[in-house]
């Protein structure tokens, strides 16, 4: 047998073995339930308050969509808001229990009765809001951004009246406040931290990705993920970071990650483009991929009241994942 032919056969065998081994190593959920999202809108964020669930999204320039569940995520009702007319990207709960969502062109919707009725407000500086957090029931911090190189941090009241706005040359993607004083912002190549309720923000020593998702477990421990597929962990409230997954490595599979969730010090998931869901059982040191159940981008992951998971994304993607 000619050497070149032998080389081709051996290469093909190795590729086949590698693909087969990779598929065998993929994880499987006990069940994947496709939930009715009543259309093909893009959904960007999920939030649960007890048995009441909220999923927000829409098409950026065309419509606002909110899905509401009152049965722990089993069924969902779609609500449309023509007065807003732009996509929503972030959702949060105020200390008093109100649910507030924000989005493109400064659109904001608030419910004080767990999603039965909503109040529309216009955030007065009309920025492209990605997320928000409330320090108390009347004082919010909102983050915005476009095209990686422009964004800002805004401070406004419950009706959207902006007190002041700090513009930046960085797009911000996620904000998480652990309490009224301590919080974090994730953005393009940067992470920020405040310990004084947003009066001042310090840049943290973690770089080399467009950071999209933050998961805070407790006062010390947190994880972040990015568009290149990197995952970082901090055990000291952001003072130092351990790169657990290197999205820039040539030997790592390429993922575009949108969100991350850890429910304890060991068990965590991240979701991203092409329907990817990855899982760690050792606090993020090693990650394994689940068998795909969709090719749509998955943009948010949340734990359901029963301990299972729910994800949302493009083209109306909404799935319950039974662990």
Q: How far apart are the first and last CA of the chain?
A: 51
Q: What would the two tokens of residue 2 be?
A: 């000619």
pLDDT per residue as tens digits for the range 263-304: 999 999 999 999 999 999 999 999 999 999 999 999 999 999
28-49 CB burial, b ≥16 within 10 A, e <16: ebeebeebebeeebbbbbbbbe
Q: How far is CA 122 from the centre of its chain?
A: 24
State pTM to two decimals. 0.92
Q: Report the percent of the chain where pLDDT is more than 70.
A: 93
State the pLDDT confidence band at 17, using cuts at 50, 70 and 90: very low
- Residues 66-85: what's their mean pLDDT? 98
How far is CA 310 from its chain centroid?
Answer: 12
Total Cβ atoms within 10 A of residue 22: 11
**pLDDT reading at 22 higher than 70:** no
How many angstroms separate the CA atoms of 257 and 210, rounded? 10
Q: CB–CB of 88/101 below 8 Å?
A: yes
The torsion angle over the Cα atoms of residues 252, 258, 261 and 265, rounded to 10 degrees, is 30
- Which residue, 214, 212, 219, 184, is CA-closest to 198? 184
């Amino acid at each position: 047998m000619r050497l070149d032919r032998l080389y081709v056969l051996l290469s093909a065998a190795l590729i086949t073995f590698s693909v087969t081994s990779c598929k065998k190593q993929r994880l499987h959920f006990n069940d994947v339930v496709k939930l009715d999202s009543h259309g093909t809108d893009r959904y960007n964020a999920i939030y649960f308050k007890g048995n009441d669930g909220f999923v927000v999204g829409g098409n950026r320039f065309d419509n606002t969509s909110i899905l509401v569940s009152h049965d722990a995520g089993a069924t969902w009702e779609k609500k449309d808001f023509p007065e807003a007319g732009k996509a929503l990207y972030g959702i949060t709960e105020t200390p008093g229990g109100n649910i507030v969502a924000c989005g493109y062109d400064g659109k904001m919707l608030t419910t004080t009765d767990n999603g039965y009725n909503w109040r529309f407000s216009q955030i007065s500086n009309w920025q492209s809001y990605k997320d928000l957090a409330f320090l108390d029931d009347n004082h919010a911090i909102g983050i915005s951004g476009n095209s990686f190189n422009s964004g800002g941090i805004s401070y406004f009241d419950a009706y959207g009246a902006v007190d002041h706005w700090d513009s930046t040359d960085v797009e911000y993607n996620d904000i998480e406040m652990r309490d009224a004083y301590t919080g974090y912002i994730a953005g393009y190549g940067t992470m920020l931290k405040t310990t004084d309720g947003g009066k001042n923000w310090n840049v943290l020593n973690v770089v080399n990705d467009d950071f999209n998702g933050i998961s805070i477990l407790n006062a010390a421990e947190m994880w972040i993920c990015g568009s290149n597929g990197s995952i970082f962990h901090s055990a000291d409230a952001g003072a130092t970071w351990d790169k657990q997954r290197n999205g820039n490595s040539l030997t790592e599979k390429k993922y575009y990650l949108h969100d991350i969730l850890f429910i304890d010090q060991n068990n965590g998931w991240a979701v991203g483009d092409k329907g990817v869901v990855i899982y760690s059982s050792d606090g993020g040191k090693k990650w394994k991929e689940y068998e795909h159940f969709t090719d749509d981008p998955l943009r948010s992951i949340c734990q359901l009241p029963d301990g299972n998971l729910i994800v949302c994304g493009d083209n109306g993607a909404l799935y319950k994942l039974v662990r």
